[in-house]
Amino acid sequence: MTEIVAQPLTAEAFAPYGDVLEIAGAPDKIINQGLCGRYHDRAALDFGPGGRAGISLFNAEPRSLPYRLEMVERHPEGSQAFVPMHLKPWLVVVAEPGDVPGPVHAFLAASGQGINFHRGTWHGVLTPLHEPGLFAVVDRIGDTANLEEHWLETPVIIGGPRF
Ligand SMILES: NC(=O)N[C@@H](O)C(=O)O
Ligand code: NI
């Protein structure tokens, strides 16, 4: 059994896997008569040929750490963004690329952080750590499954702060 510890989610650490959505630093634009900072175009969305963008709402059961990861998945035809509709920390899990997933990495998303997995990134499914597990998910809508699951030979136990 492999044990890892969730690390703080940063744009740099997550860059090989996707984009971090956060209001970090100065906004790209000040809009709405100066009352709003726009952090413009912060994710590489990709829905491929034959698909279109969709927004779905996920209401997921919260998990707790340590978390037993048994499966990772990927979407070969498009990106997938998880945008929390709450301000709690939550868990982001990825695995290094390959036809068989490589080593698993876990990140603790802080309040207000969202992510966008790039097309084909191996990842754990949406994993809230608190109620409400409410997220907007932006991903590919199409006629194909756009889903490949890989069940790990040995589970990965993901540790981190006890809330
Ligand atoms: N299956 C589904 O819509 N969600 C997963 O892709 C996920 O990553 O949670
Ligand atoms: Ni997914």
Probe target for ligand 1 pocket from 61, 77, 125, 147, with the most ligand atoms within 8 Å of CB: 125
Q: Which residues of the chain carry a pLDDT beneath 70? A: none
Q: Whose CA is nearest to atom 6 of ligand 1?
A: 125
Ligand 1 contact, 126 CB (< 6 A): yes
What is the pTM assigned to this prediction? 0.97
CA–CA dist 33, 147 (Å, integer): 43
13-47 per-residue burial string, b: 16 or more CB within 10 A, e: under 16: ebeebbbbbbeeeeeeeeeeeeeeeeeeebbebbb
Q: Tell me, what's the ipTM? A: 0.95
Instruction: Give the three-class secondary structure for 12.
Output: helix
Tens of pLDDT, residues 60-84: 999 999 999 999 999 999 999 999 9
Q: Is 113 exposed, middle or buried (0-12, 13-18, 19+ CB in 10 A)?
A: buried
Probe target for ligand 1 pocket from 58, 79, 80, with the most ligand atoms within 8 Å of CB: 80
CATH entry 1.10.3720.10 includes domain 2-159: no
Instruction: Give the three-class secondary structure for 140.
Output: strand
